[in-house]
Amino acid sequence: MTELFEPTRLGSLELKNRFIRSATWEGIAEDDGHINDEILALYENLAKGGAAALITGYAFVIEEEQPSPKMFGAYDDSFIDAYKPLTQIVHDNDSTIMLQLAYGGSFTWFNTKEREIWGPSAVTNKISGVTPKEMTQENIQRLIAAFGDAARRAMESGFDGVELHAGHGYLLNQFLSPFFNQRGDAYGGSSENRARIISDIFDDMRKKTAPDFPLLVKLNCSDFMGPKGFTFEECKALCTTLDEKGIAAVEISGGPVFKAPRTEKETTFQVSLPADDSYFSEYAKEIARSIEAPVILVGGNRSMETMEKLLEETDISFFSLCRPILCEPDIINKWHADKTVTPRCTACGKCFTPTGNSCIQNREKAPQKE
């Protein structure tokens, strides 16, 4: 019988269990994307919490493209040595760590008037209100190389893998969507052409990293926009393509799920997520049946009973969590000791704010700074 708390493998990695901390924008890095003591303390605590792997908040790969404040960076070689204390502190506390790489595109509210924002086409983002500049072929090739270089830097820093963020409405997700991608060249039109940039990025990352360095991808099972968006059938086809290329794992999510604050006085994003446990599991289990690479399920994983059932009855291999770990960094250890423990997280969505993510329960308990 397969168990949640059994040693297993993800590509070349040996993991102590099947729990992963999913990528979460922390909003506490330096303005230029470098880490600090606060980041090190956070990840030491996360590593002690029991998850077999930690995926960082997203890192920007081109210096002038930063979709959120105080996020991780990976745009030049200064990050190689800068990240070594982070990877070391995680390894010293019996966990592994992967760097998530992303380009925000028009799904951003940060410094939008002060920088050039790229998109597959000049289509206004209805959530952010940003209209991007349509990318040239030169822009596309620069972006592909930037992801590959960032993956190399991550490997040289001691990260155990990287995850390419191609979901949640960010640029690579927009390339996949016929609503945002209205190009007439090799990167637009058919679903295969719209997915081409992700395949090209994977190839560049593979070329610039060791053959066994794990490369993961995070994908929407669907954008839930009907035929105007990225569909589940297209997701399955892309997963098959990446599986054939040797992807280490596919993390299945969905979205986009955020709406911007309606006024400047609002301090949280509106989060539209189902109340059910493991709410993308029907999509994930179908993909897991169709590819060899392990599938990671994210979204609403807060019931041990549900996850045990999915592990036993489907081909889903791993479970990643965000909000329960924001609330209780040691929830995995608690479940290991007693699988009947109910997480404190209530899925209220108030952890998501324009300045970073942290559990409101913990913020309310924290001492006030004078």
Q: Where does the pLDDT of residue 366 fall: very low under 50, low under 70, confident under 90, or very high at 90 and above?
A: low
Torsional sign, CA 80, 83, 88, 94: negative
For residue 260, the model assigns a pLDDT of 37
More confident residue, 157 or 363: 157
Separation in Å, CA 84 to CA 24, 50, 216, 343: 20, 21, 21, 32
Look at residue 277 and tell me whether its pLDDT is greater than 70: yes
Mean pLDDT value across residues 72-88: 98
Q: What number of other Cβ atoms are within 10 A of residue 203's Cβ?
A: 13
Look at residue 333 and tell me whether its pLDDT is greater than 70: yes
Instruction: Write out the E strands in the chain.
Output: 8-10, 13-15, 19-21, 53-55, 59-60, 72-73, 96-102, 118-119, 133-134, 161-166, 215-220, 249-253, 258-259, 270-271, 295-298, 318-321, 352-353, 356-357
Look at residue 157 and tell me whether its pLDDT is greater than 80: yes
For residue 224, the model assigns a pLDDT of 84
Residue 306's Cβ-count burial label (10 Å; 0-12, 13-18, 19+) is middle
Gap between the Cα atoms of 162 and 97, Å rounded: 9
User: Among residues 301, 252, 258, 245, which one has the least CA distance to residue 278?
Assistant: 301
Compute the residue count for the chain.
370
Q: Where does the pLDDT of residue 207 fall: very low under 50, low under 70, confident under 90, or very high at 90 and above?
A: very high
Angle subtended at Cα 55 by Cα 147 and Cα 10, rounded to the nearest 5 degrees: 90
Which value, in Å, is the radius of gyration of the alpha carbons in the chain? 19
User: Among residues 143, 141, 161, 164, which one has the least CA distance to residue 152?
Assistant: 161
For residue 127, the model assigns a pLDDT of 85
For residue 368, the model assigns a pLDDT of 45
The verdict on residue 370 lying in a domain is no
For residue 261, the model assigns a pLDDT of 35
The verdict on residue 302 lying in a domain is yes
The verdict on residue 347 lying in a domain is yes
For residue 357, the model assigns a pLDDT of 75
Look at residue 267 and tell me whether its pLDDT is greater than 80: no
Separation in Å, CA 250 to CA 328, 352, 356: 25, 24, 25
The verdict on residue 285 lying in a domain is yes
Look at residue 270 and tell me whether its pLDDT is greater than 90: no
For residue 364, the model assigns a pLDDT of 60
Whether the CB-CB separation of 170 and 105 falls below 8 Å is answered with yes
The structural domain count of the chain equals 1
Single pTM value for the model? 0.91
More confident residue, 286 or 362: 286
More confident residue, 291 or 363: 291
For residue 1, the model assigns a pLDDT of 63
- Please report, for the domain that includes residue 170, its CATH number: 3.20.20.70
The verdict on residue 3 lying in a domain is no
Whether the CB-CB separation of 146 and 233 falls below 8 Å is answered with no
Task: Return the residue matching tokens 């998530």.
Answer: 100
For residue 365, the model assigns a pLDDT of 61
264: Cβ contacts below 8 Å, ≥ 6 apart:
none
Mean pLDDT value across residues 89-114: 94
Percent of the chain with pLDDT over 90: 76
Q: Convert the pLDDT of each residue in 136-155 to its tens digit.
A: 999 999 999 999 999 999 99
Q: Where does the pLDDT of residue 31 fall: very low under 50, low under 70, confident under 90, or very high at 90 and above?
A: very high
The verdict on residue 134 lying in a domain is yes
Mean pLDDT value across residues 300-309: 92
Look at residue 276 and tell me whether its pLDDT is greater than 90: no
For residue 354, the model assigns a pLDDT of 65
The verdict on residue 201 lying in a domain is yes
Look at residue 17 and tell me whether its pLDDT is greater than 90: yes
The verdict on residue 19 lying in a domain is yes
Look at residue 251 and tell me whether its pLDDT is greater than 90: yes
Torsional sign, CA 201, 124, 221, 241: negative
Q: Where does the pLDDT of residue 331 fall: very low under 50, low under 70, confident under 90, or very high at 90 and above?
A: very high
Question: Domain span at residue 118?
Answer: 8-365
